Structure 1
Amino acid sequence: MSSYPVAGVGDIEGGREQDMPARLEMIARLLDSNWRIPGTGIRFGADALLSLLPAVGPVASTAVSAYLIWEARRLGLPAGLLLRMVANVGLDAVISAVPVAGSVGDVFFRANLRNMALLRRHLERRGRRPR
């Protein structure tokens, strides 16, 4: 098991900081690419399904995406990368707001996976390899 020393953050939630990137990746996959349409290579997640619920669905999806950004901040992401993550979620929220077509857009614009790629690259550059 590898550890993720995080400067200035300390012990996140009782020593679970080393597991945080893996948990965030799992949540991002659930939101963006958890299931595959049979017979195709097209993947979709809970974000696309939630977009089908008027108002409540996109708000719930955006709230979970905001949680991912919050945890990335706690892992020490710099402000510039956090702003890129916010922009990705903002664009995803705008796409999701369009009835029915928003669900299709959510299948192809995967803000949470994009954000986790930003987090992963940052941690790798800092010498903290995600699992």
Structure 2
Amino acid sequence: MGNDPQSIRRRVEALEMILERSMVIPGTNYRIGLDTIIGLVPVLGDIITAAMGSYIVWEARNLGIPKWKLWHMMGRIGFDTAVGAVPLLGDAFDVLYRSNTKNVKTIKKHLDRHHPETRVIDQ
């Protein structure tokens, strides 16, 4: 639970996996996560998943990612939350649009450039 780049990388990758790809839709090979499941609860579900996604942005801020990238990351969460709040259409959108995955990719690019020792070989 440290504040070093390696610990932050592990935390945001774990949270992204839980939010976006922790379960498989039965009968398919498509992965979903808590973002999709909790998002089924009108309004409150979208607020909860936005708060969880904001934690990823907060960790990015702790890494010193430039403010314009942080605003871009928050914009993704805002877009996901706004469209996700629309009944039915928003639920389908949550299955396809993965703002947390995009935000973690932004963090990984920053870490790979500024903290290459945190790189992990994906399997």
**Partner residue in 1 for 2:30:** 42
TM-score (norm 2): 0.87
Let me know the Cα RMSD of the aligned residues. Answer: 1.5
Q: Which has the higher contact order (CA 8 A, sep 6+)?
A: 1
- The gaps in structure 2 that reach 5 residues or longer are none
Aligned length: 118
Q: Does 1:88 align with 2:84?
A: no
Q: Does 1:77 align with 2:59?
A: no
**Partner residue in 2 for 1:10:** none
SS at match of 2:87: coil
SS at match of 1:70: helix
Percent of aligned pairs with the same amino acid:
34
- The gaps in structure 1 that reach 5 residues or longer are 1-12
TM-score (norm 1): 0.82
Task: Give the letter for the 1:32 counterpart.
Answer: E
Task: Give the letter for the 2:44 counterpart.
Answer: V
Cα deviation 1:74-113 (Å, max 9, x = unaligned): 1111112111101111111112111122121111100001
Q: Does 1:115 align with 2:100?
A: no
Task: Give the letter for the 2:38 counterpart.
Answer: L
The question of whether the paired residues in 2 share the 8 Å contact of 1:48 and 1:102 is answered with: no
**Partner residue in 2 for 1:5:** none
SS at match of 1:54: coil
